[in-house]
Structure 1
Amino acid sequence: MTEPIEQRIAKAMAELESVQAAVAQAEERLAGASATVRSRDRAVEVTVGAAGELTGLKFLDNKYRSMNASQLAQSVMEAVGRGRAQMAQEVMDTFGPLTAPSTELPELRGIDIDWDRIFGSALGGEPGGGHGGRTRSRLRDEIHEDGDDPHDRGRGRA
């Protein structure tokens, strides 16, 4: 027997309110989030905010004095890339549960998040560093497995 439409609407509204509250909590949690990362050569330490912005930069132990401009730039870029990848992963972990379909209302598919559009190069991370590449591949695998809507290409759920 099918459920009356009024009950289904009430359930959908309750679910929507629950998702809105969860989004607000996630945004609040991430508002002050940051990642502090050192370059592999330990010459540079950067702090990156939840939006991938550089919020801090330190040159450690005067190592920069023995580096040429190109080496120093590479250290900064590597640390920033790893910090951005770390924060992208934290944001994806925080919002990931909101992308799951509703258990009570199959029509509510969960929110679609275009991680590539949000994080861009941060998902790819720095070669050999960070978690982004693995996550990006996992997302692409799920996108290809879904295959429900040919217009949904490039969008995925974690």
Structure 2
Amino acid sequence: MTDWHSMDTDQAVDQAWAKLEEEKEKLAELGKHWDEASTTIRAKDQSLEMTFDGRGELTELTFNPSKYREMPPAQLASVIIETLRKGRAESQQKMSELMGTPAIPGLDLDGLISGKVRPDEMINSMMGPMLETLSGFGLDIEPPKPANQKREAREHG
């Protein structure tokens, strides 16, 4: 349990606010990146080229006419999928580098960007320490249920 009497609350609030501002600046840069950045990837065999926006979404696909026409359909499909994965991974890497290491515990930006972490789960993991702190003050607040659990409760209850 935290010793609340020896804690400098002004300093703790200032530190928390500074972390929040730091993350806010990173998110502003990420928004700018989403609006302005692009990544272009060429297939290993030079048969096609893909361009992705700042979010890693495919925006352009260009085929090399002399190459792709000679390819069997299964091989072309494989090249398309491989190049798509490579382009998305490179786009996600750029976003991760831009965001750096989060200053706020529980903020998994890489997981959020890649789609491996659900936003509601991330929020709950970030709220956990705050709820524990409030519990230390004698306030027992139940964490919010994820949206899909609320829906299930309405459907079954």
Whether TM-score is above 0.5 comes out as yes
Q: What is the distance in 1 between the residues matched to 2:68 and 2:7? A: 68
Shift of 1:117: 4.9
Greater shift in the superposed pair: 38-47 or 66-75: 66-75
- Runs of 5+ consecutive residues of structure 1 not aligned to the other structure: 102-107, 122-158
Q: What is the distance in 2 between the residues matched to 1:17 and 1:120? A: 25
User: Which residue is 1:51 aligned to?
Assistant: 55
Shift of 1:73: 1.3
Q: What is the distance in 2 between the residues matched to 1:78 and 1:12? A: 42
Deviations 1:38-96 (A, max 9, x none): 11111010112232211110111421111121121111111111111111111111112
The answer on whether the counterparts of 2:47 and 2:64 sit within 8 Å (CA) in structure 1 is yes
The answer on whether the counterparts of 2:34 and 2:55 sit within 8 Å (CA) in structure 1 is no
Secondary structure of 2:60's aligned partner:
strand
Rg larger in structure: 2
Aligned-residue sequence identity (percent) comes to 31
Q: What is the distance in 2 between the residues matched to 1:86 and 1:93? A: 11
Secondary structure of 1:66's aligned partner:
coil
The answer on whether the counterparts of 1:47 and 1:57 sit within 8 Å (CA) in structure 2 is yes
- Number of aligned residue pairs: 112
1:13 aligns with 2:8: no
1:74 aligns with 2:78: yes
User: Which residue is 1:112 aligned to?
Assistant: 107
Deviations 1:100-123 (A, max 9, x none): x4xxxxxx54x61153453158xx
1:38 aligns with 2:33: no
Q: What is the distance in 2 between the residues matched to 1:76 and 1:87? A: 16
Secondary structure of 2:100's aligned partner:
helix
The answer on whether the counterparts of 2:99 and 2:109 sit within 8 Å (CA) in structure 1 is no
Greater shift in the superposed pair: 74-83 or 26-35: 26-35
The answer on whether the counterparts of 1:48 and 1:80 sit within 8 Å (CA) in structure 2 is no
Q: What is the distance in 2 between the residues matched to 1:33 and 1:39? A: 20
With the length of structure 2 as denominator, give the TM-score of the two structures: 0.59
Q: What is the distance in 2 between the residues matched to 1:120 and 1:4? A: 38
With the length of structure 1 as denominator, give the TM-score of the two structures: 0.59
